[in-house]
Amino acid sequence: MTALKVRIAPGTWVGVSTLAAASRAVREYLDGNNLGFRAWGLESADVRDAANRTIARVSFNGRVWTGQRDWQQRTEIRGAALDVEGGPR
Protein backbone atom coordinates (compact mmCIF):
# COMPACT_ATOMS: atom_id res chain seq x y z
CA MET A 1 0.00 0.00 0.00
CA THR A 2 1.36 3.44 -0.89
CA ALA A 3 -0.94 5.83 0.95
CA LEU A 4 1.93 8.30 1.29
CA LYS A 5 4.32 9.92 -1.14
CA VAL A 6 7.69 11.56 -0.51
CA ARG A 7 9.43 14.15 -2.67
CA ILE A 8 12.95 12.78 -3.04
CA ALA A 9 14.04 15.51 -5.48
CA PRO A 10 12.50 18.60 -7.07
CA GLY A 11 9.61 17.28 -9.19
CA THR A 12 10.19 13.62 -8.20
CA TRP A 13 7.77 11.82 -5.86
CA VAL A 14 7.91 8.19 -4.68
CA GLY A 15 5.03 6.22 -3.16
CA VAL A 16 5.70 4.81 0.32
CA SER A 17 3.59 3.20 3.05
CA THR A 18 5.26 4.54 6.22
CA LEU A 19 7.40 7.43 7.39
CA ALA A 20 10.28 4.99 7.94
CA ALA A 21 10.00 4.00 4.26
CA ALA A 22 9.98 7.70 3.31
CA SER A 23 13.19 8.24 5.25
CA ARG A 24 14.83 5.24 3.56
CA ALA A 25 13.71 6.44 0.10
CA VAL A 26 15.28 9.85 0.67
CA ARG A 27 18.58 8.44 1.93
CA GLU A 28 18.74 5.81 -0.85
CA TYR A 29 18.21 8.52 -3.46
CA LEU A 30 20.85 10.80 -1.95
CA ASP A 31 23.40 8.02 -1.38
CA GLY A 32 22.72 6.41 -4.77
CA ASN A 33 23.35 9.70 -6.55
CA ASN A 34 26.24 10.82 -4.31
CA LEU A 35 24.40 14.06 -3.50
CA GLY A 36 25.38 16.46 -0.76
CA PHE A 37 22.92 18.84 0.87
CA ARG A 38 23.54 21.73 -1.55
CA ALA A 39 23.25 19.51 -4.63
CA TRP A 40 19.98 17.96 -3.38
CA GLY A 41 17.99 21.11 -4.12
CA LEU A 42 15.56 20.72 -1.21
CA GLU A 43 15.51 22.05 2.35
CA SER A 44 13.64 18.88 3.37
CA ALA A 45 11.54 16.22 1.66
CA ASP A 46 7.79 16.68 2.03
CA VAL A 47 5.76 13.58 2.91
CA ARG A 48 2.14 13.86 1.79
CA ASP A 49 -0.93 11.77 2.56
CA ALA A 50 -3.68 10.62 0.18
CA ALA A 51 -5.40 14.02 0.54
CA ASN A 52 -2.13 15.70 -0.56
CA ARG A 53 -1.55 17.26 2.88
CA THR A 54 2.05 17.58 4.08
CA ILE A 55 2.11 15.39 7.19
CA ALA A 56 5.87 15.17 7.74
CA ARG A 57 9.25 16.22 6.39
CA VAL A 58 12.44 14.20 6.01
CA SER A 59 15.69 16.07 6.53
CA PHE A 60 18.93 15.38 4.65
CA ASN A 61 20.17 13.12 7.45
CA GLY A 62 17.02 10.95 7.22
CA ARG A 63 15.38 12.19 10.41
CA VAL A 64 11.60 12.64 10.21
CA TRP A 65 9.86 15.75 11.50
CA THR A 66 6.29 17.01 11.81
CA GLY A 67 5.02 18.84 8.76
CA GLN A 68 4.92 22.49 9.80
CA ARG A 69 6.36 24.99 7.32
CA ASP A 70 8.31 26.81 10.03
CA TRP A 71 11.23 24.56 10.96
CA GLN A 72 11.31 26.03 14.46
CA GLN A 73 7.85 24.57 15.17
CA ARG A 74 8.68 21.04 14.00
CA THR A 75 9.30 18.16 16.37
CA GLU A 76 11.01 14.90 15.54
CA ILE A 77 8.85 11.83 14.91
CA ARG A 78 10.50 8.70 16.35
CA GLY A 79 9.92 5.11 17.30
CA ALA A 80 6.75 3.19 16.50
CA ALA A 81 5.09 6.23 14.87
CA LEU A 82 7.51 5.83 11.95
CA ASP A 83 6.09 2.39 11.13
CA VAL A 84 2.36 3.21 11.09
CA GLU A 85 0.84 2.48 7.67
CA GLY A 86 -0.27 5.76 6.10
CA GLY A 87 1.55 7.85 8.71
CA PRO A 88 0.83 8.60 12.36
CA ARG A 89 -2.74 9.35 13.40
H-assigned helices in 1-89: 19-32, 37-40
Task: Please report whether residue 28 resides in a domain.
Answer: yes
Task: Check if the beta carbon of residue 5 is closer than 8 Å to that of residue 25.
Answer: no
Mean pLDDT by 10 residues, the chain (89 residues): 88 96 97 92 93 94 89 87 81
pLDDT of residue 20: 96
pLDDT of residue 78: 87
Nearest partner of 43 among 20, 61, 23, judged by Cα = 61
Task: Please report whether residue 69 resides in a domain.
Answer: yes
pLDDT of residue 8: 96
Task: Please report whether residue 88 resides in a domain.
Answer: no
Task: Check if the beta carbon of residue 27 is closer than 8 Å to that of residue 19.
Answer: no
Task: Please report whether residue 74 resides in a domain.
Answer: yes
